[in-house]
Amino acid sequence: MANRLTPLVAGNWKMNGLRADLAQVAAIRDAVAAGAVAGAEILVCPPATLLAAAAQLCAGTPVAIGGQDCSPDAYGAHTGDISAEMLKDAGASYVIVGHSERRIDHGESDARVAAKAAAALRAGLKVILCVGETEAERTAGQAEARVAAQLEQSLPPEQAAAGRLAVAYEPVWAIGTGVTPSPRDVVAMHGFLRQRLKTLLTDGEVVRLLYGGSVKPGNAAELLRSPDVNGALVGGASLKAAEFLAIAKAVSQH
């Protein structure tokens, strides 16, 4: 990669996974420990019910475990919420914030996403901040404007956090649909995001940019070949160790 950033391949299990599925985590752990994936950081974000067990399975190995969301608050009367401190205590080292499914299903604003990112940094977690446009916004020629606004308004206030921050571009219209943007579209948006990050953050060049949106073993190499694509946020394909590892290998080769 031209900018020499270690690629990050993150699996987002979403609302999937029972205890039996920890076997997939173990398979990923064993393959990475055996050197099957070289030159990339590997992260699995299981549902909260499996996070502590997954962290225990991967303790002392190169595979990191992360949460899928966190509360902006450290503790308190917030039934059903999980704080960043709780994730950290359970063994997480990362958390995803601002995923389009959170923004849409739960009405999360950019300001709330920024507060969650700040809470994660406060707790000592690394952050994957998601941004992305809808199909209607892209068709209307508003993709860059929408993504820029989300990025600027969702960034945590800690300007020194660039080394603990990754940004995932996830075109909403490509998530779970099987439809993917062209490699040219991905290159263009990631190049745009890189320039915006350099403007917004002193160390914007060290923020890893991940692509997310129907990433599969068959399209990973083509989608992720740009120097401004520093890894992938993988959804459904991360549920099976073999598929996830195939994507990780494709990423690490670029």
According to the annotation, is 173 in a ligand binding site? no
126 SS3 class: strand
Is 133 one of the catalytic residues?
no
According to the annotation, is 91 in a ligand binding site? no
* φ, ψ at 201 (rounded to 5°): -125, 140
Six-digit token pair at 166? 């990754």
According to the annotation, is 249 in a ligand binding site? no
According to the annotation, is 66 in a ligand binding site? no
Query: 108, 133, 170, 243: which is the annotated catalytic residue?
Result: 170
CA distance 136 to 238: 28
* Matching residue, tokens 């952050």: 127
- By the 8 A CB rule, do 82 and 71 touch? yes
According to the annotation, is 13 in a ligand binding site? yes
According to the annotation, is 235 in a ligand binding site? yes
* DSSP percent split of the chain into helix, strand, coil, nearest 5: 45, 15, 35
What totals of helices (H) and strands (E) does the chain contain, helices first?
10, 8
Query: 41, 99, 137, 243: which is the annotated catalytic residue?
Result: 99
According to the annotation, is 214 in a ligand binding site? yes
* φ, ψ at 187 (rounded to 5°): -60, -45
CA distance 35 to 226: 24
Six-digit token pair at 149? 């606004």
Is 106 one of the catalytic residues?
no
The binding site comprises 12-14, 176, 214, 235-236
Known catalytic residues are: 99, 170
The binding site for substrate comprises 12-14, 176, 214, 235-236
